[in-house]
Amino acid sequence: MKPNAVAFVLLFLAANAMVFISPANTQTSPPGGQSTTTPVQNYDECVKAGYPTGKAAVQERCWTPTSFRIFVKGLKPTIHQGLYGSITLRSGNCMPGMIFGDERDKIPPPNPCTLMTVDRTVYIMEPIEARYKWHGPYLSADLPPFKITKSINSIYEIELPVGRYELCVEDNGKKYCRWVPFTIEKERLQEFNIEINHAVY
């Protein structure tokens, strides 16, 4: 690959991380499965700590690059212990493109990679055996959930007792579960912003 092409790809990837919050550079599990070295718990704390901010799916976001956590501005949970956050769907061709020669002087085509807020049913599951998750993000069996809620205007919240759980969301009539188990602690709230990924790379 030509040096100019390499530089373009690197620049595109950096911009993609800032504007679109690419799943390759964001959290892939609820907070219980992440590093506990970052004390940030919400958007305001994230901004105060000096972490980067940007907009994606009409949401103002702040994220911690070291622990791959995303926080959305304006979320105000009414629960006192459990999990809350927003739900988005990524789709389209999200492979970085390259422009050469005369094409660089033309207006670029619309970005085919989209991220939009959606509503879904959220399932809290007891820890799931690995054999049900071997074939991709969808469970291979319709396991019963521990607790269910449904998002409103893409925002969900669910009160939970202390314990260890897994998170799934309804997608195409199946349970979409691409995150590792997480732990709910006494009198603690955890923000986790769900991204369902239908994109191609």
Q: What DSSP character marks residue 58?
A: T
Q: Where are the alpha helices (DSSP H) in 28-87?
A: 43-48
pLDDT(99) > 60: no
pLDDT(36) > 50: no
Alpha carbon distances (Å) from 60 to 9, 41, 155: 25, 16, 14
Mean predicted lDDT score pLDDT of the chain: 81
Most confident of 18-22, 99-103, 164-168: 164-168
Assign 27 a pLDDT band (cuts: 50, 70, 90).
Answer: very low
pLDDT of residue 28: 45
Assign 35 a pLDDT band (cuts: 50, 70, 90).
Answer: very low
pLDDT of residue 5: 46
pLDDT of residue 112: 82
Q: What angle do CA 20, 122, 81 make, to 5 degrees?
A: 95
Q: What angle do CA 80, 121, 151 make, to 5 degrees?
A: 50
**Residues of the chain above pLDDT 70, percent:** 74
Q: What is the dihedral of CA 53, 48, 151, 24, to 10 degrees?
A: 40
Residues 58-97 have pLDDT tens digits of: 999 999 988 789 999 999 999 999 999 999 999 998 887 6
pLDDT(19) > 60: no
192 Cβ neighbours under 8 A, 6+ residues apart: 27, 30, 31, 83, 84, 85, 167, 182
Is 132:139 a contact under the CB 8 Å cutoff? Answer: yes
Q: What angle do CA 160, 166, 171 make, to 5 degrees?
A: 105
Residues 178-192 have pLDDT tens digits of: 998 999 999 999 999
The residues that bridge with 174 in the sheet, in sequence order, are: 171
Is pTM, for the whole model, over 0.85?
A: no
